[in-house]
Structure 1
């Protein structure tokens, strides 16, 4: 456990943030599929991306991806087309509780040979790699975008290409669009028209160097910190205004709701607080396209004493933990009156609290990081703080650079 605090709110700093985990893991798999013709720069140093690289180079027949959900989804699809390999794909206790049935059903419908070793619909999986010739699949649109992306990435290797029809309301569209744009950058002409995604068979691509943009989800914690710190100014690299990442919606969300202004120059993003900004009493946002920043936004509201109503959060229940329940549990420790449903979180008001909050992290990196900005208001204690290694291993070092006092208890 650590205690984190800060003696003043005049925060200045210039930080380099690791590459996007979402972009990195897509490009790592594509590089593997295309025989390593891509030179990738600023790859994420997250535990998830390290596990992805380790798994792709693992010659054994058992692959353990621990807590890495993206790796579980992407590798399930990848190993299903590796002819001649028989793989057991497993993970942590939590990973074995995270559903994967929708993806397995889709791959089976294409012709993949995948079976469940323990519980139906959940890892671990036995995957017998084989040639897949089917080219048309229908999948529910309201599932994790990682399922859809996993299919898109291997679609490049199917001899008849792949057409994916999405049924129902699509969630996390920006992540699907990221996948399409990354495919385009390497020379694959994938497209999405209405509810249909088409990925052409692409036997080879040209050699190319690609720089991974830094992670916008990680940037969210600095947006929150600046929102809570009237005199602060923080610069982070490497970020661009025309980002592929859906979480770049932070720029407008924090400008319109919290008075944080973003300035871009030569890959550097500078965040400043507008001291004259007038906050609304209640923040109302549909985060269907950006669920990964919901925890940060909710914590920002608590730090400012604002009410909020956040919707579009149905995927949060199947993440590293049930994030809606975890947020209710932990934000209540700050006096917040929190109501959750299957897809929403509402802060209706506040009670007085006096004790230093001791915050649980639920083996969820974002639960640790989204709470950290609150330390600019009052000391907080965070259990199992090293969960940040999943996506942002240098998180606490960066906060010390910004002048926060971090003590191990």
Structure 2
């Protein structure tokens, strides 16, 4: 599906949007619910990733196809490795078979898991024969994707001896690790995180508990971008959000102050307002703990004619696509002067935007949604726009509520 996006040049946005629950929290809680059925979940994400996760957890034997869902691949690898008597083959899209899984598989094998590569060594598909895991000590490089780490932490309370995990080197993606541990605490599992050592203690059962998933901050980022690119006075309300969020992407509140976006919290909502502000010519952001908002920030800067230097982006190379190269290609088509390495991005200030450019999305939901706010500045096309369903199925409908002109072509 190819969409054409445009807006009136004098548009003043004012609306309230209800955003689906965080897929990061939802997928963690779905796995914990599979281990401890007493858990009930409210405001669960309606994303493709959460749907795939639920379907995968319901399978005991056979093939589990997770499509593009990297989180589901990592979490289900850990889950099935510790499920005695279950035997599955985890596979996915062509891109998924190019995304490495070796570090997690090696760690699980150190705990006693039986996992075999079905094709290329180090990559899905993998055959996982569940068994009782009795080893409880393992180490991982500290600078890897937090999903590998969380996969181990989530199954840890179900292991008879719990888990002692050592992270070797400088830890990245700390907020996502803390999110996992906070959710374990919420259901009554004891853990500790001191220095580079994480311990999770075993627990055979938990009390009945209802956990409400906070709405997704990554999804909120696109509305921060819209407000930043809009007229002074624009106001958008988003629900449901907490001021003390578990999600690393909540750093948006601080980052977007530089773009003139004020955030106020009240009644489990965030109120965004565009204010007049003296902006610097170049924005510098260290995004090691929030890499998923890099695309949004880069596009916001381009739309405002600002430069930016974004660092801490090493995990973007192994996402749904190589997000750094994808940003380079698509922003260049729009007229940007941009350079990328394997871990950072530099955009030069520029006031010119090429109109009616077709943005390729590379099977990556965040490419589609990050570029959409540029319709505030110029008309553009978005190819394969249905990819947003991976995390935010209602995205295009919500933009139409904000007076965006969206036409399928």
- TM-score normalised according to structure 1 size: 0.98
3-state SS, counterpart of residue 205 of structure 1: coil
Residue 352 to residue 247, structure 1, CA distance change in 2 (3 Å): closer
The list of structure 1 runs, each at least 4 consecutive aligned residues, that deviate by more than 3 angstroms after superposition, is: 349-355
Residues 88 and 126 in structure 1, CA contact (< 8 A), matched pair in contact too: yes
Match of 2:403 in 1: 403
The alpha carbon displacement at 1:85 in A equals 1.5
For each residue in 1:355-392, what CA deviation from the matched residue of structure 2 results, as whole angstroms up to 9, or x when unmatched?
Answer: 41110000000000000111011111000000000000
Cα distance in 2 for partners of 1:351, 1:298 equals 14
Residue 403 to residue 355, structure 1, CA distance change in 2 (3 Å): closer
Residue 29 to residue 354, structure 1, CA distance change in 2 (3 Å): closer
Residues 287 and 312 in structure 1, CA contact (< 8 A), matched pair in contact too: yes
Match of 1:137 in 2: 138
Unaligned runs of 5+ in 1: none
Alignment partner of 1:243 out of 245, 260, 271? 245
3-state SS, counterpart of residue 31 of structure 2: helix
Cα distance in 1 for partners of 2:268, 2:299 equals 27
The alpha carbon displacement at 1:334 in A equals 2.1
For each residue in 1:192-234, what CA deviation from the matched residue of structure 2 results, as whole angstroms up to 9, or x when unmatched?
Answer: 1010110001111100111100000000000000000123110
Match of 2:225 in 1: 224
Aligned residues, how many?
406
The alpha carbon displacement at 1:169 in A equals 1.3
Match of 2:378 in 1: 378
3-state SS, counterpart of residue 273 of structure 2: strand
For each residue in 1:159-182, what CA deviation from the matched residue of structure 2 results, as whole angstroms up to 9, or x when unmatched?
Answer: 111000000111110000000101
Match of 1:348 in 2: 348
Residues 333 and 353 in structure 1, CA contact (< 8 A), matched pair in contact too: no
Residues 111 and 138 in structure 2, CA contact (< 8 A), matched pair in contact too: yes
3-state SS, counterpart of residue 161 of structure 2: coil
Residues 146 and 173 in structure 2, CA contact (< 8 A), matched pair in contact too: yes
The alpha carbon displacement at 1:150 in A equals 0.3
Residues 140 and 168 in structure 1, CA contact (< 8 A), matched pair in contact too: yes
3-state SS, counterpart of residue 283 of structure 2: strand
Match of 1:93 in 2: 94
3-state SS, counterpart of residue 220 of structure 1: helix
For each residue in 1:237-273, what CA deviation from the matched residue of structure 2 results, as whole angstroms up to 9, or x when unmatched?
Answer: 0011111111110001111x21110011111111001
Residues 301 and 308 in structure 1, CA contact (< 8 A), matched pair in contact too: yes
Q: Does 1:191 align with 2:192?
A: yes
3-state SS, counterpart of residue 15 of structure 1: strand
Unaligned runs of 5+ in 2: none
Cα distance in 1 for partners of 2:44, 2:352 equals 44
3-state SS, counterpart of residue 350 of structure 1: coil
For each residue in 1:108-149, what CA deviation from the matched residue of structure 2 results, as whole angstroms up to 9, or x when unmatched?
Answer: 011100010100000000111111110000100011100000
C-alpha RMSD of matched pairs (Å) = 0.9
The aligned runs of 1:310-329 (5 Å cut-off) are 310-329=310-329
Residue 374 to residue 30, structure 1, CA distance change in 2 (3 Å): same
Cα distance in 2 for partners of 1:191, 1:239 equals 26
- TM-score normalised according to structure 2 size: 0.98
Match of 2:394 in 1: 394
The aligned runs of 1:196-207 (5 Å cut-off) are 196-207=197-208
Residues 261 and 271 in structure 1, CA contact (< 8 A), matched pair in contact too: yes
Cα distance in 2 for partners of 1:9, 1:272 equals 14
Residues 4 and 406 in structure 2, CA contact (< 8 A), matched pair in contact too: yes
Cα distance in 2 for partners of 1:258, 1:9 equals 18
